[in-house]
Structure 1
Amino acid sequence: MKALGWNFRGFGQSGRKTQLKEYIKKEKIDIIFLQETMRQDFTDQELRNLVEGEQFVWHWTPASGRSGGMLMGIRDSLFEVGALAQGEFFLSAKLYHTPTKFKCEFIGVYGPADHSRYASFLQELEGRVDNSEFPIMLMGDFNLIRGAQDKNNNNINWVLVNLFNEAIARWALLEVVRTGAAYTWTNKQSNPVRSVLDRAFVSLEWELRFPLARLTAETRIGSDHTPLILDSGENAPRRMARFSFENSWLAVPGFVEQLKLWWVELLITNVNPRDPIDVWHGQASGLRQCLKGWSANLGKERRVIKADILAQIQGLDRIADEQAWMQRVGV
């Protein structure tokens, strides 16, 4: 199973939403948990578009004005979804993972940025964890750090650090080791503050069942938070990908002309059709094959460009991390 956690900073951002769809499709995400959706509600159509027609069970809390809001989606073909719950700072679902016949509870977290509210935040989470009878996955933006290594400067509230670490110890949770980006949040200033605010924790029973689990912090683009992907390490069988027409193809220069050319060529090669239904079936089948090949080549070109851009961003992130380290040690 794979879970995606991301402080999204606005569901209405079209570019960010496209990036989210790419993560869901590329990584075959089974659990989606978004924070800071800035939305009161979602339509069935936009949720279906997000997962390209796949069946997900959705649950959300509305934003407060133009901030906040959480959205959780669970892949219906992989899980039997039991009781759903919500609080001021979390969404949760009791799950039965059908490939492994394993019961667990996913708890998505969005901690307050206001430090005066951390007592109520940790108290609410403690109640949720204590009342769970299943192994736990706890994931999201906690808005808390656990030590000096989680921030690129020395402006640290050690009282909150200790409160957070003591709570994690009481709950007997294990933090999943993160790879990828060194920090998960930045204030995006010229001299940025960078911190690790987004995390994933699991209970011992969950870790024993999925010992190969790993957490990856992806490259941050758009939002001030990096997306996190928690992979249990299990490879459940997947259905073959279905062909779908992408509206974005219509914006590719020369696409409509190429489409017309394929249509004419297919009419010529579709010899001796028995009736109009045969003509339509032959045209549709042939056009689908043409589009698959064309989109594969187009996708390859775009992937090369995207990979180059991501490599440049990652390089800039590494430079920023090195500069922060040198400032800390006084080099």
Structure 2
Amino acid sequence: MKVATWNIEGLGQYGKWIRLWRWIVKNQLDVVAIQEHKKHDHAGMLLCTKDFKLCYNGINNKYSGCLLIVRNSVNFTVLFDNPEDRFIMSHCKLQETSYICINVYAPNSPADRVKTWKDLALAIQHCIYLQIWTDARILLCGDFNMVDSKMDCTTPSSVISSQEDMVWSGILDMLRCKDLWDCIGGHTLRYTYHSRSHKKAMSRLDRCYYSHVFMLSAASKMWVDATVLLSDHNPLLVSLKEVGWNVCIPFSLPRIPLRVDHSWMQTLLFKSK
């Protein structure tokens, strides 16, 4: 499964749409999590094209933050749509594998983020007992507008506060998710956000968390695409490939010669007499 998350800073310009579609097709993406789409006229709508489904969250006259673009070959169902436009939760099924995909666009204010995390926690508790959740892989991605550690930013203001961290850590524990960057990322391009007003302000605001990291094969990878300049955020791409356990089993096992314990047979025959 190939996934991308991107704060595109508005899709009102016609040229942006064309470049976005070309980029999606070029990278053969299955699911694209967009933040800050600003398409107010499409808020709360599910649109279908020849190859993709587009699900906008929120209601009219709100900020219109999250958009999910899903390839038609992926079975797709919306589980929870946050009316404040801050996150959308969906169930995706690709090749008999289920995924719970959560697209998040967090507020800039720490106090507002705490409210968003509490709303997200309630939404998770509402959906976690669904049958489709049982064997699903959890993918939490988006623009979180904060970082977990100082090494992920050049300005201390982006680091999560202790009060916010308690709520945020509870969400990750509930989902059993880990930061994919620590597992399959780690290349030279680390920061996804580059401030236009403060040139030295950079941070890793855009992230992906995954529940089943132990099942990922060495072919899985994550990278930052710095070739597209449509926003002050760079898109983050993830290729999830799990270990094929059937491949580990030899197709034809060599015959093992039968070993006969003669001493045991002699003892058994002696007792039978």
Length-normalised TM-score, structure 2: 0.71
**Matching residue of 2:271:** none
**Matching residue of 2:241:** 233
Q: Distance in 1 between matches of 2:93 and 2:79?
A: 13
Check conservation: 1:144, 1:160, Cα contact below 8 A. no
Check conservation: 1:10, 1:36, Cα contact below 8 A. yes
Q: Distance in 1 between matches of 2:121 and 2:14?
A: 36
The CA deviation at 1:5 is 1.2
Alignment gaps of 5+ in structure 1: 235-331
**Matching residue of 1:148:** 150
1:173 counterpart (167, 174, 177): 177
2:189 maps to 1:194:
no
Deviations 1:91-149 (A, max 9, x none): 12212212xx1112111111111221122211122233443323211111111110000
2:190 counterpart (182, 185, 190): 182
2:65 counterpart (69, 75, 90): 69
**Matching residue of 1:57:** 53
Structure 1 pair 190–162 and aligned structure 2 pair: CA distance change class (3 A): closer
2:100 maps to 1:93:
no
**Matching residue of 1:112:** 107
2:165 counterpart (131, 145, 162): 162
* Stretches (4+) displaced over 6 A: none
Alignment gaps of 5+ in structure 2: 243-273
The within-5 A match list for 1:292-331 is none
The amino acid that maps onto 1:91 is: I
The amino acid that maps onto 2:27 is: E
Q: Aligned residues: percent identity?
A: 22
Q: Distance in 2 between matches of 1:159 and 1:102?
A: 36
Q: Distance in 1 between matches of 2:112 and 2:142?
A: 17
Check conservation: 1:63, 1:69, Cα contact below 8 A. no
Check conservation: 1:37, 1:63, Cα contact below 8 A. no
The CA deviation at 1:209 is 4.2
How many corresponding residue pairs? Answer: 222
Deviations 1:206-261 (A, max 9, x none): x3444343221111513111111121137xxxxxxxxxxxxxxxxxxxxxxxxxxx
2:224 maps to 1:221:
no
More displaced stretch, 13-22 vs 60-69: 60-69
Check conservation: 1:174, 1:203, Cα contact below 8 A. yes
Structure 1 pair 26–128 and aligned structure 2 pair: CA distance change class (3 A): same
Deviations 1:142-163 (A, max 9, x none): 1111000011133445426733
Q: Distance in 1 between matches of 2:198 and 2:78?
A: 45
1:41 alignment partner, SS class: helix
Q: Which protein has greater RCO, CA pairs closer than 8 Å, 6+ apart?
A: 2
Check conservation: 1:180, 1:217, Cα contact below 8 A. no
The CA deviation at 1:90 is 1.1
Q: Distance in 2 between matches of 1:62 and 1:190?
A: 31
More displaced stretch, 155-164 vs 212-221: 155-164
